[in-house]
Amino acid sequence: MESLIGLINRIQRACTVLGDYGGNNALPTLWESLPSVVVVGGQSSGKSSVLESIVGRDFLPRGSGIVTRRPLVLQLHRTEDGPDYAEFLHLPKKKFTDFALVRKEIQDETDRITGRSKQISPVPIHLSIYSRNVVNLTMIDLPGLTKIAVDGQPESIVGDIENMVRSYVEKENTIILAISPANQDIATSDAMKLAREVDPTGDRTFGVLTKLDLMDKGTNAIDVLEGHSYRLQRPWIGVVNRSQADINKSVDMIVARRREREYFASSPDYRHLASRMGSEYLGRVLSKHLEAVIKARIPSIQSLINKTITELEAELDRLGRPIASDAGGQLYTVLELCRAFDHVFKAYLDGGRPGGDRIYNVFDHQLPAAVKKLPFDRHLSIQNVRKVIAEADGYQPHLIAPEQAYRRLIEGSLGYLRGPAEAAVDAVHFILKELVRKAINETQELKRFPTFQAELSAAAVEALERFREDSRKFCQSLVDMEAGYLTVEYFRKLPQEVEKGHPNNTTADRYGEAHLRRIGSNVLQYVHMVCEMLKNAVPKAVVHCQVREAKRSLLHNFYAQIGKREGKQLAQMLDEDPGLMERRSACSKRLDLYKSARDEIDAVVWDK
């Protein structure tokens, strides 16, 4: 049974080491679910004195004003033999046997966080005391409730203290040790006011009455101690601590405890209550009660821990693993990211994801429609044919067939094909660009790295531009090739009517309508033939230069660039959203805490 308090002590220490002091809603808190005894009371009500009496040692800072400015988690460990000593969590290697130095260390450590400004801080100080004269017990000392700021403390300190104290006593798992001085009307007690607010049934409040020895002659606190003036579920406990004069004379704590026992045993007012009065008794009651509360809460703490571990692990999965700090690991991450992107991008092209089909649409619809719209009719109108022939013939009309004019008319017509070919190149380029954009958005792994995402996207688009340029040149060459060398076969097969059928040709006949129409129609037929050819060849060229290259070598240049980068540049490229990085490290720290708490509890529970 005794190990239960020790168990909670270990988990409490882990909480502080891993930054869980409760009160931070952004992360799950284990600290707040741990049962603890919290000491509350107005200033000079005797809080420090009660703690020291329970410990049997003189070790807390004293003075006027707000001395306790950080929570002090005081963990008492009963030992069988050996001298008393103390240890701080923040000084793990150091054993204090001189308790005056413990007091000084508490003061120094308080200032270390709060500075000289005398502010308060929620970061607890953990102090463990090992002694034969203590019971196993953990108590948290908090700043005393106060009404006015002194010593140049900010005005807000009054409210800040109340909020801090409240955040502790509000928790269902907190046992409230409410300290009130007997020489003051209980109705004005700050401790009881707060306790009643957060624990109206008085189920988890222990009322402690100090300074019984300082009451006016002829008065006593029987009404309070017997529970008549203020009802609590737990019996009230009266204590008599050292007076200021005792403190000044350094009266030994063990001597003070004996005197306290004698006080109750010999007091005519309290003799009948003597067996359940005094600080030693208080320590024993609290120890037992804390054990019982812990025991009752362990199952719910365990299920909370398991639930939180699942939640934190799920969140960490979503956030992704942290990136390596060495250049090799970073390069690996970069390549992994590229691979992930490439995988998604290929799915768009090869099917599996929609979008690649739009490329076929360009070849099947857009290109033929554009070719169909070309103004061959206008170019091969009788007027234009006549004009071209006349220009080509010059002063000497052609004799048999207008060879020169044929060439010019064909060249001119084929020139129009550049437009649709280039449009096909561009259309496919824009589709590919759109698919790159989609693939980047759809690659989950990239979401973490906005900088890298931008670089990858720029590199991919740059590569697509290069492919477009190659493709454009290639398609132009296809058209130029057709214009540059005509298929002789075709013209040889044409019926040679002009020469054979009209032996009496005149120059006028050479420019006659029938003749011109025939020439136009011959050219048009040839051009149509070439169009059919190019409607097949352009898609092949486009796929070869753009689509195939996008699949094969979209990131080749990028890889080459990355290979030349140094560790620092890689790290810069992989800079994550800082908020996300913070969140990940906070979550993984918290996860460590919950896991170690789970192991601690399992070890103790299995032991039983």
Q: Which residues bind ligand GDP (CB under 6 A)?
A: 41, 43-49, 62, 144, 210-211, 213-214, 240-244, 247
**Shortest Cβ distance from residue 41 to ligand GDP (Å)?**
5
Using CB under 5 A, count the residues that bind Mg ion: 2
The partner in contact with residue 183, picked from Mg ion, ligand GDP, none with C-beta cut-offs of 5 to 8 angstroms by kind, is none
The partner in contact with residue 243, picked from Mg ion, ligand GDP, none with C-beta cut-offs of 5 to 8 angstroms by kind, is ligand GDP
**Shortest Cβ distance from residue 69 to Mg ion (Å)?**
11
Return d(Cα 123, Cα 501) in angstroms, integer. 112
The partner in contact with residue 124, picked from ligand GDP, Mg ion, none with C-beta cut-offs of 5 to 8 angstroms by kind, is none
The partner in contact with residue 132, picked from ligand GDP, Mg ion, none with C-beta cut-offs of 5 to 8 angstroms by kind, is none
Decide whether 184 or 220 has the Cβ nearer to Mg ion.
Answer: 184
The partner in contact with residue 177, picked from ligand GDP, Mg ion, none with C-beta cut-offs of 5 to 8 angstroms by kind, is none
The partner in contact with residue 41, picked from ligand GDP, Mg ion, none with C-beta cut-offs of 5 to 8 angstroms by kind, is ligand GDP
**Shortest Cβ distance from residue 180 to ligand GDP (Å)?**
10
Return d(Cα 525, Cα 519) in angstroms, integer. 10
Return d(Cα 526, Cα 548) in angstroms, integer. 32
DSSP track, 101-147: HHHHHHHHHHHHHHTTTT---SPPEEEEEEETT--SEEEEE-PPB-S
**Shortest Cβ distance from residue 65 to Mg ion (Å)?**
10
Give phi and psi for 126, each to the nearest 5.
Answer: -105, 125
Tokens of 214: 């300082």
Decide whether 43 or 457 has the Cβ nearer to Mg ion.
Answer: 43
Residue whose structure tokens are 């954009």: 437
DSSP track, 279-293: HHHHHHHHHHHHHHH
Tell me the residue length of the chain. 608
Decide whether 58 or 87 has the Cβ nearer to ligand GDP.
Answer: 58
Decide whether 146 or 287 has the Cβ nearer to ligand GDP.
Answer: 146
To the nearest 10 degrees (0 to 180), the angle between helices 556-564 and 450-484 is: 130
- CB-CB neighbours of 421 under 10 Å: 25
Return d(Cα 567, Cα 569) in angstroms, integer. 5
The partner in contact with residue 297, picked from ligand GDP, Mg ion, none with C-beta cut-offs of 5 to 8 angstroms by kind, is none
Residue type, 326: D
Decide whether 120 or 601 has the Cβ nearer to Mg ion.
Answer: 120
Residue 40, SS3 per DSSP: strand
The partner in contact with residue 211, picked from Mg ion, ligand GDP, none with C-beta cut-offs of 5 to 8 angstroms by kind, is ligand GDP
**Can residue 53 be called a binding residue for Mg ion (CB under 5 A)?**
no
**Shortest Cβ distance from residue 241 to ligand GDP (Å)?**
3
**Shortest Cβ distance from residue 295 to ligand GDP (Å)?**
31
* Contact flags string 8-47 toward Mg ion, x per CB under 5 A: ---------------------------------------x
Decide whether 48 or 330 has the Cβ nearer to Mg ion.
Answer: 48
**Shortest Cβ distance from residue 179 to ligand GDP (Å)?**
6
Helix residue spans in 146-278 (DSSP H): 157-169, 190-198, 222-225, 244-248, 253-266
**Can residue 48 be called a binding residue for Mg ion (CB under 5 A)?**
yes
The partner in contact with residue 146, picked from ligand GDP, Mg ion, none with C-beta cut-offs of 5 to 8 angstroms by kind, is none
**Shortest Cβ distance from residue 584 to ligand GDP (Å)?**
42
**Shortest Cβ distance from residue 58 to Mg ion (Å)?**
13
Which residue number has the CB closest to Mg ion? 48
Return d(Cα 28, Cα 586) in angstroms, integer. 10
Decide whether 244 or 275 has the Cβ nearer to ligand GDP.
Answer: 244
- Inter-residue contact 278 to 239 (CB < 8 Å): yes
Residue type, 367: L
Return d(Cα 592, Cα 249) in angstroms, integer. 48
**Shortest Cβ distance from residue 48 to Mg ion (Å)?**
3
The partner in contact with residue 282, picked from Mg ion, ligand GDP, none with C-beta cut-offs of 5 to 8 angstroms by kind, is none
Burial of residue 113 (CB within 10 Å: 0-12, 13-18, 19+) is middle
- Inter-residue contact 194 to 169 (CB < 8 Å): yes
Query: Which residues, at least 6 apart from 508, have a Cβ–Cβ distance to it below 8 Å?
Result: none
Residues that bind Mg ion (CB under 5 A): 47-48
